[in-house]
Amino acid sequence: LDRQPFHGPHQAGIVTPQPAAALVVALDVLAEDRGELATLLRLLTERLAFLAEGGPVPPLDPRLPPADSGILGPQVLPDNFTATLSVGASLFDDRYGLAGAKPRHLRPMDRFPNDSLDGKLCHGDLLLQFCANTAETNLHALRDVIRHTPGLVSPRWKREGMLPPQVVKRPGKDTVRNFLGFKDGTANLDASDADLMRRQVWVPPGGPEPAWAAGGSYQVVRIIRNFVERWDRTPLREQERIVGRHKDSGAPLGETAEHALPDYASDPAGSRTPMDAHIRLANPRRPDTAASLILRRGYNYSAGITASGQLDMGLLFICYQSDLDAGFVTVQNRLNGEPLEEYIKPVGGGYFYALPGVPEPNGFLGQSLL
């Protein structure tokens, strides 16, 4: 029940349910050439498939370092673990002769007007997204991957995320709260709607993207700090007008049911939902904005205290789409200048391409690319 299949036409961790814990880690590849890159991708595939399947760890030989970190004990349980491997634009520089294979929209993450990006939290040749019921399962997976790929990767940055643990969240169906105290995900796309996913999330074969990329998806990761001290001193009515929803129910302003549809057509001047409310800018719900629908899969994070003594917490925003520019970039450009910006600050992340799945047990991640 809590095992997510590793093999399939698409990678797990995109439309599969969202368990309570996530970890993203960006890796730089140290492989000397394409052959070593292939070795790395095979190794990663082997480890990630084992971690998703679970099983006993190899027996201990006292003369050697243990074969497993041991932090989950002698038996690795699947624990709803999914791993999603994505590639960044830098993998397509001249090192591996892949320049001609780069997905059309893949590039270093754009810098938007409200961003204050820290280079140490941005980009990477590879990105691994782990999701599981517990943070320990993700950390075990990270230790496993690092110990099995010596000399082949160098970790660049990492961020762990969490969701309220009472549910395994079905993207677009169940909603839990973010660190601004609002329900997050109410109007997300329904990830169980295969037709919708085919249109908005998966890159189709025979389209403008390179043939190898079919079945993959553009992934955007944004580490977005929330100024929670300031937010907590903001009147409720103002918070609700900034988001465009009621805080307790999650309903659109003026409605009572969480999943009631906001009716912007009958509110053309924004007297009910301000024109610059987050949800109205993010999705104006007009026929001409349907192409910008994205699948969000975010997590909350809490990291420590900043140099100026503020709580360092926020949203580990992650989204997937078949067209980076028609999706995330279009939505973010509509959001630029929104009143919410007074309370949020994107500090890191990157643009990545989630590789197609591994349909067969003897295949490996990135096989079509190499």
Q: Which residues of the shown chain bind ligand HEM in the complex (CB under 6 A)?
A: 178, 180, 182-188, 222, 224, 226, 243, 245, 278-279, 282-283, 294, 314-315, 317, 328, 331-332, 335, 344
Q: How far is the CB of 226 from ligand HEM (least distance, A)?
A: 6
What is Dmax (Cα atoms) for the chain? 74
142 versus 243: smaller Cβ distance to ligand HEM: 243
Cα(363)–Cα(257) distance, rounded to whole angstroms?
47
> Tokens representing 173?
């169906």
Going 39 to 55 to 5 to 359, the CA torsion angle's sign is positive
Q: How far is the CB of 34 from ligand HEM (least distance, A)?
A: 35
Q: How far is the CB of 178 from ligand HEM (least distance, A)?
A: 5
Residue reference for tokens 């690319």: 369
Cα(310)–Cα(2) distance, rounded to whole angstroms?
37
> Tokens representing 3?
């095992």
User: In Å, how far are 29, 88, 103, 243 from 220, measured between CA atoms?
Assistant: 20, 10, 14, 21
Nearest CA to 151 out of 323, 32, 306 is that of 32
133 versus 226: smaller Cβ distance to ligand HEM: 226
DSSP label of 17: -
Cα(279)–Cα(284) distance, rounded to whole angstroms?
8
Is 187 marked within a binding site? yes
Q: How far is the CB of 201 from ligand HEM (least distance, A)?
A: 13
Backbone φ and ψ for 25, nearest 5 degrees, come out as -135, 130
Nearest CA to 226 out of 330, 316, 294 is that of 316
Q: How far is the CB of 124 from ligand HEM (least distance, A)?
A: 19
Is 296 marked within a binding site? yes
Q: How far is the CB of 166 from ligand HEM (least distance, A)?
A: 18
DSSP strands (E only) in the chain:
21-29, 55-56, 75-76, 82-88, 126-132, 153-162, 176-177, 183-184, 217-226, 295-296, 299-305, 311-321, 344-354
123 versus 140: smaller Cβ distance to ligand HEM: 123
18 versus 226: smaller Cβ distance to ligand HEM: 226
Nearest CA to 210 out of 289, 306, 105 is that of 105
Q: How far is the CB of 238 from ligand HEM (least distance, A)?
A: 14
178 versus 367: smaller Cβ distance to ligand HEM: 178
| Angle of the 135-148 helix axis to the 34-53 helix axis, nearest 10 | 150
Is 285 marked within a binding site? yes
Binding residues, as ranges, are 185-187, 245, 278, 283-285, 296
Binding residues for heme b, as ranges, are 185-187, 278, 283-285, 296
Binding residues for protoporphyrin IX, as ranges, are 185-187, 245
